[in-house]
Structure 1
Amino acid sequence: MNKLAKILLTGLLVLFFTTSTNIKAETETERLERLNNEIQQYEQEIQKLKSQASTLSNQIAQYDAQVRLTTLKVEQTQEKITLLGGRINQLEFSLQALANAFASRVVHSYKMTRLYQPLLMLLTSNDITTTFESYHYLQKIQKSDRDLLVRLEDAQVTYTHEKENQEVLKKELEEQKKVLGTQKAAKATLLEQTRNDEKKYQQLLSAARAEFEAIQAIIAGKGQEEEVGKVSQGQRIASIIQGPSCNSSGGHLHFIVSQSGNTQNPFSQLKNIDFENCSGSSCGSSDGDPFNPSGSWDWPINPKVKFTQGYGSTWAVRNTWVGRVYSFHNGIDIDSGSSPEIRAVRAGTLYQGSYSGSSGCRLRYVRIDHDDSDLETFYLHINY
C-alpha cells in the first residue's frame, strides 16, 4: 500500500469513528432530553391530581404517577452515570498518555539541561551565535515541559472532579431506588387498608380529619379540662388505648410538647432510648423519620419504644394519604411493647381533658403544666 493510500485510509477511519461518536452523543443527549420532558409532564400530572377530589381512585392515580415519575428519574440518573462513565474512560486514557509523555519529556529535558548548561556553553563554545541558539532551544523545551505539566495537572483535576460527580450520581440513584420502593409500598399499604373500597378510604380520611381537628383544638386550649393535682416525674398518669378508637386506627400515644401554644419537637427534650423505627414504609426500613433525641427527659412509656411517626414533615405526610389531611405532624406517635402505662416526663400540674369535635368522637387526653419551665406536655389517645 503506497503512502497516499495509507493517508486516505487513516483519514476515513478517523472520520468514521468521529462521526460514530457524535451520533452516539446526540442520541444519548436526546434521550436525556426526552426523559426530562417526561419527568416534567408527570410532575404537572401529580400537581393536577392533588388539586382534585380526595377519592381512592385519585389517590391510587397519584401513587401510580409518583412511581412512574421516580422510575423516569432512575432512568435519567442511570443515563447520566453511563455518559459520565464514558467521559471518565476517555480522561483515564488521556491522563495516562499525558503522564507517559511527561515522563519521557522529563528524561529528555534532564539530558538537554545537562548538555546545554549556559555557563558551560559560554566557556566551551567557539561560536556565540550557536550558544544563544542552543540556549533559546533549551528555554523552548523547558516551556514546553511546563505547558505539558499544566495540561497534566488540569487533566488530573478534571478526572478527580468527574469521579466525584459519578459518586454523587450513584448515591442519588440509590436514594431514588429507595423512594421508588417506598412509593410502591405506600400504594400496597393503602390497598390493604381499604381493600380497594372507596367507603373504607373515606372513613380513613374522616377519622384522620377528626383527629387533626381535635388535636389542634386541644393545643389551642379548647378542650374541657379538670385539674387533678400535682404529679411527680415518672408517676403514672394514664394508659394507652389498646386497639383502634374513634380517632385512631390503632393503639398509640400521640405525645406533644408545647410552649405558649406552639408545638416543639419532643426529641429536643427527650433522652435517647432503645427503639424500633416503624415510621417509614416498614419497620426497620431506611426511609423512616429521623429518631434523634438529644434532651434529658425520661420517656412517657417503657422501652422498647415503637416509633411510628416523627415530628414535622414526616414520611407519612410526604408519601401517604394522610398528606391530604395535614402537612405537619405536631408531635410524635409512639407505643410500648411491654406496657400501656403512661408516666409524667417531668413534675407538674396534671389536667384530665377531652374534646368532642364535629364528628362526635370524644378524644381523651391529659396535660401537664410543668413546674420548672414554661413548657407543657400533652398525652393523647389515652384512658385516664
Structure 2
Amino acid sequence: MLFSDTLRFVKMPVMLRKILLPAIFAVVSLLILGLSITRPISAASLEECEKEDLPADKISECIEVLSNKVSELGEQKKTLASQIAQFDSQIHLTQLKIADAQATIDKLEKEIGVLGFRIGYITDSVERLETLLKQRIVATYQQSFVSNLELILTSKDFSDFVLRVQYLKQVQENDRKILTNLQESRSNYANEKDEREEKQAAIEENKEKLLGLKTSLDQQKVEKQVLLSRTQSDESRYQRLLAQAQAELAVAFGGGQETFLRDVKVGEKIGNVISGPSACSTGTHLHFEVHKNGSIEDPNNYLSSTSFQYAPNESEAGSINPHGSWPWPIDNPINISQGFGMTPYARSGAYNGNPHFGIDMYNSGGAFAVKATNDGKLYGGSVGCGGRTLYYGKVDGGDGLKTYYLHTVPN
C-alpha cells in the first residue's frame, strides 16, 4: 500500500474502517493458509520403506506405512503370493521396529553419558561452593565481633568508613549468592540424577522390547519357512492345505456326516491311515483330536510318553509333550509333523487365527493301522473338502470324551 493510499485509509470515516479492517485481515489469513496448504509434504513411500539402507529419520514413518501394508494384505483373498508378501512385509516391519528400538537405546545412552558429565560437574561445583561457604561462615563469625563503633574508630576518615560499610554489604550479598548457588546446584544435582534414572529405566524397557522383537522376528522367519516348506511354493498345494485346515475345523465343530459302525475297545484296530495324498491332504498322516464335553482338549494331556521324532524338525512342527496314560493310535516308529496349539503353521494364518486342534503323526515304517485310544462306539465320518471328501473315524466314550482320527478310513 502506498503512502497516499495509507493516508486516504486513515482519513476514512471510523465506521468504514471498522468494516474494512476485518475483511483485509480475513483475506491475508486466507492467503497465508493457502500457502501452507499448498506446500508439498514429503511422505515416505512403500518403495522407499522397503529399502535396506533406510535413513534413521524415516523409520517411524515407515513403521506406519508397513503396518498399513500388512493390514491390507491380511484383508486380501488368501493366496500363496499374498501370504508370502504379508510375511515379507511383517518381517521388514519387525526389522524396522528393531532398528527404532536400538536407535532409541543408543540415543538414551548418549544422553546418559552427557548427564553423567553434567552430574560430575555439578558435584565438583557443590563441593567448591560448600568449601567456600564454610570459609565465609568462619569469616562472618569473626566479623560479627567488630562493632559499628570499632569500625568508625578504625576508619581513616568518613570516605574510608563509607567504603568499609559498602564492602561489608557487598560481602554479605556475595555470601547470599553463594548460598543461593549452592541450593540451586543441589537442586540441579537431584533433578539430573532423577532424569538419569528415568533414562536408565527407559533403556531397560527398550532392551526388553528389543529382545521381544528379535524373538518375534525369528518366529516370523520360521513361520515363513514352514509355509514355503509345506506348500513347496505351489499355489494349488497351498489351496489344498487351506481346504484341509477348513475341513479339520468343520469336523472339530461338528460339521461332518457320521454313521455308527460298532463298539470298540482300547488298542483295537479301527481303520487305516489313507496312503499318500488324499482329499485335502498332501501326504500320509493321521490327525488326532480329543474332545471333552464339547470342548477341544490338548492330546498331550491324554497320550502317554513315548519315543518319537519330528518331521522335518521341531522348530517347524511345533513341540509336543505327551504325559497322559492312553496308548498311541499308531505304532512306533512315530513321526510328528505338527503339534497341538499355535504351531508355526497355525501362526502363518492357515487356520484363520485358530490353533491346530490336534496332533499330526505318521508311522515312518510304512504301517497304516489306526487303533482306538479309548473304549467306546466307533463312527465313520466324512466332510466335504475342496470338491472331494475327507474321511475320518470317531470313538465316543459315552463319558463326554470323544476321539477323532482324520484322514482315516474306518472299518
Q: Deviations over 1:268-310 (max 9, x none)?
A: 44566655555xxx6232x6646455x6334525677543334
Partner of 1:224: 259
Give the 5 Å matches for 1:195-214: 198=236, 209=246, 212-213=249-250
5+ residue gaps, structure 1: 1-26
How many Å separate the matches in 2 of 1:126 and 1:133? 19
Give SS of 1:333's match: strand
Give the 5 Å matches for 1:326-365: 327-337=354-364, 342=370, 344-345=372-373, 347-355=374-382, 357=384, 359=387, 361=389, 363-365=391-393
Q: Which has the larger radius of gyration?
A: 2
Instruction: Give aligned pairs, total.
Output: 333
Quote the offset at 1:106 in angstroms. 5.7
Taking a change above 3 Å as real, the CA distance of residues 203 and 133 of structure 1, as seen in their structure-2 partners, is closer
Taking a change above 3 Å as real, the CA distance of residues 298 and 146 of structure 1, as seen in their structure-2 partners, is farther
How many Å separate the matches in 1 of 2:130 and 2:327? 74
2:111 is equivalent to residue 90 of structure 1: yes
Partner of 1:283: 313
Corresponding residue to 1:181 among 221, 245, 254: 221
Does structure 2 conserve the Cα–Cα contact (< 8 Å) formed by 1:67 and 1:180? no
Quote the offset at 1:367 in angstroms. 0.9
Partner of 2:20: none
Give SS of 1:223's match: strand
Taking a change above 3 Å as real, the CA distance of residues 29 and 224 of structure 1, as seen in their structure-2 partners, is same
How many Å separate the matches in 1 of 2:186 and 2:307? 61
How many Å separate the matches in 1 of 2:276 and 2:400? 33
- Amino acid in structure 2 at the alignment position of 1:375: L
Quote the offset at 1:83 in angstroms. 4.5
How many Å separate the matches in 2 of 1:312 and 1:180? 16
Quote the offset at 1:35 in angstroms. 0.8
Q: Provide the aligned C-alpha RMSD in A.
A: 4.3
Q: Deviations over 1:254-279 (max 9, x none)?
A: 2212123332233344566655555x
What TM-score, normalized to structure 1?
0.66
2:204 is equivalent to residue 158 of structure 1: no
Does structure 1 conserve the Cα–Cα contact (< 8 Å) formed by 2:299 and 2:358? yes
How many Å separate the matches in 2 of 1:306 and 1:113? 82
Quote the offset at 1:369 in angstroms. 0.5
Quote the offset at 1:337 in angstroms. 4.2
2:353 is equivalent to residue 319 of structure 1: no
Give SS of 1:361's match: strand
How many Å separate the matches in 1 of 2:362 and 2:120? 65
Partner of 2:59: 32
How many Å separate the matches in 2 of 1:256 and 1:109? 78
2:127 is equivalent to residue 100 of structure 1: no
Taking a change above 3 Å as real, the CA distance of residues 98 and 81 of structure 1, as seen in their structure-2 partners, is same
5+ residue gaps, structure 2: 1-53, 148-167
Taking a change above 3 Å as real, the CA distance of residues 30 and 297 of structure 1, as seen in their structure-2 partners, is same
What TM-score, normalized to structure 2?
0.62
